[in-house]
Amino acid sequence: MPSKQELLKKLNEEMAACSKCALRAGCSRVVPGEGNAEAEIMFIGEGPGKKEDELGRPFVGAAGKFLDEMLASIKLKREDVYIANAVKCRPPENRDPLPEEAEACWPWLLEQIKIIRPKLVVFLGRHSMNRFFPNEKISEVHGKLLIKNFGLNPDGSPKRQHFLALYHPASALYNGGMRETLLNDFQKIPKALEVAGKK
Ligand code: URA
C-alpha cells in the first residue's frame, strides 16, 4: 500500500503534465501544492500568483508571508499542514479563473483531498469556498464551521467533512479591519480541528 506522500508525489507528476485547460499554456509552471501529506488541516487558496508561478510553490508572496504569520500565531508551521489551491495554474494577470478552467482543475483538488483525508479543510477566500458551497456568502459564514457529507470513509460510508471559511489573506493585507477579522477567525482553527476530530 503506497503512503500518502507517495500518492501525492505521483499525483503531482500527473498535474505537472496536465493541459486540460488553456491556463497551462499561459503560465510558467503548475503549482500543485505542498506540505505534510499526513496533515490534519488542509488550506485551499484560489490560484497561484506571480511569485507562486515563478517558484512552483503555493502562497510564497506577500499573502503567503501573512499566512505564515497566522500559522505561527496558532503554533503551526507550513510543514504541519497542507496548502493547495483550487486552480493549479496562474491565470493571466491574476484574473479570476473562468468556470471551465476551475471545472477542469476540480478533479485534481478532489484527488488531493481524497489522499490527504484532512480532518479540517480551511478555505482561504470566497472563491475556494464557493467551489464547495456555491450558495454561501463569505461575509456570513467566515469563521464558522461548515459540515457536510463530502467524499467517502475507507469503509465506503459518506464522510462527514468539516470546513472553515476564512477571508483571503491578500484581501486583509491592506485593510486593517479585514486583517483583524482574519486574525480572529484564524484563532478558531484549533477548536474547529478538535470538533472535527471528535466527528
Ligand atoms: N493567492 C492564492 O490564492 N494562492 C496562492 O498560492 C497565492 C496567492
Tens-place pLDDT, residues 62-98:
999 999 999 999 999 999 999 999 999 999 998 999 9
Say what the pLDDT of residue 174 is. Answer: 86
Say what the pLDDT of residue 1 is. Answer: 87
46 lines ligand 1 (CB under 6 A): yes
Ligand 1 atom at minimum distance from 124 CA: 3
Rounded Cα–Cα distance for residues 45 and 85 (Å):
4
Which of these, 48, 46, 43, 19, lies nearest to 31 by C-alpha position?
Answer: 48
Cα 191 to middle of ligand 1, angstroms: 25
Q: What percent of the chain has pLDDT over 70?
A: 99
Distances (CA, A) of 170 to 99, 100, 166: 22, 24, 11
Match 497551462 to its residue by C-alpha cell. 24
Rounded Cα–Cα distance for residues 115 and 109 (Å):
10
Ligand 1 atom at minimum distance from 31 CA: 6
Which of these, 40, 35, 37, lies nearest to 3 by C-alpha position?
Answer: 37
Say what the pLDDT of residue 199 is. Answer: 61
Strands (E) across 4-119 are located at 34-35, 41-45, 82-85
Segments in the chain below pLDDT 50: none
52 lines ligand 1 (CB under 6 A): yes
